[in-house]
Amino acid sequence: MDLQLSGRVALVTGASKGIGLAVARTLAEEGAHVVAVSRTSGGELPGKAVHVAADLMDPQAPARAVARAVEEFGGLDILVNNAGGPPPGVSLPRVGFLTPDDAEWQKMFDFNLFSAVRAIRAAVPVMLNRGGGSIVNISSTMAVQPGAMNVDYAAAKAALNHVSKAVSEEYGPQGIRVNTVSAGPVLTDWWTKKGGAAEIIAGFAGADRDSVIAQVAPEMMRLVTGRLVDPQEIADAVALLASPRSGSTTGADFLVDGGARKEM
């Protein structure tokens, strides 16, 4: 299926690895010009991608990244706010409402909410000048499943869902579509790195890292598929939502979670 992305300009945050790298590669393979934003360059990017080094905890960084997309390619058609998860220096999961302090709450919201808000704020005028565009925000099933684990992260993603819906309502009539992809547990370095989620869970589950990834985590999260989500599966959903082929899809939440969310 031709996604009609050839020649379009896309900006992807958190593009050095995991979901962001998979999204950047997929959009480029579909013919888009990609601005890949991350603190450092990670995996090899395709030829149509330009890397922009930026720390999205810096309030000015999202606007500078959008400006670079305009400078390089003349505009912006697609924004993928993927940067998120544990902020630099933070390991998740962590359990208990009283565990994160004010500074940790602020850091979590800066990374998972405000970086996206600032990117959207910078992108909307540029997209309006082009007659519209598509914004895809990477959220989480935790946004609608409150609990004691990662409460600050889940709250930030819940707020991101609200912002996504609000922006879709305001700017949909002017041609800007906004959707979220709510990911379940995705097999990225959040899980696999030293000190990552797999090792943390292994510590309180009495298991080893590999068995957590292969069995313990899928069972604990009641994944129907029996495995963690592959980053490419998120990227494929993003590409479809970014495409004009999804022209009547806006304000929607697209689940790619291995069947983790059971609610209707």
Q: What is the pLDDT along the chain (264 residues), one digit of tens a residue?
A: 899 999 999 999 999 999 999 999 999 999 999 999 999 887 688 777 899 999 999 999 999 999 999 999 999 999 999 999 999 888 888 999 999 999 999 999 999 999 999 999 999 999 999 999 999 999 999 999 999 989 999 999 999 999 999 999 999 999 999 999 999 999 998 888 888 888 888 887 788 888 888 998 899 889 999 999 999 999 999 999 999 999 999 999 999 999 999 887
Domain coordinates of the chain in residue numbers? 9-186+230-256, 187-228
Q: Give the chain as a 3 state SS string.
A: CCCCCCCCEEEEECCCCHHHHHHHHHHHHCCCEEEEEECCCCCCCCCCEEEEECCCCCCCHHHHHHHHHHHHHCCCCEEEECCCCCCCCCCCCCECCCCCCHHHHHHHHHHHHHHHHHHHHHHHHHHHHCCCEEEEEEEEHHHHCCCCECHHHHHHHHHHHHHHHHHHHHHHHHCEEEEEEEECCECCHHHHCCCCHHHHHHHHHCCCHHHHHHHHHHHHCCCCCCCCECHHHHHHHHHHHHCHHHCCCCCCEEEECCCCCCCC
pLDDT of residue 200: 84
Tokens of 74: 């003349």
Q: What is the pLDDT of residue 217?
A: 86
Q: What pLDDT, on the 0 to 100 scale, is given for residue 111?
A: 97
Q: Is 117 exposed, middle or buried (0-12, 13-18, 19+ CB in 10 A)?
A: middle
Distances in Å between the alpha carbon of 191 and those of 4, 150, 173, 234, 257?
Answer: 34, 14, 40, 16, 15
pLDDT at 247: 97
Residues catalogued as catalytic:
153
Instruction: Please report the pLDDT score of residue 191 as a whole number.
Output: 85
CATH superfamily of 9-186+230-256: NAD(P)-binding Rossmann-like Domain (3.40.50.720)
Residue-level pLDDT at 44? 80
- The encoded tokens of residue 245 equal 């082929």
- pLDDT at residue 97, as a whole number: 96
Predicted confidence at residue 38, as pLDDT, reads 94
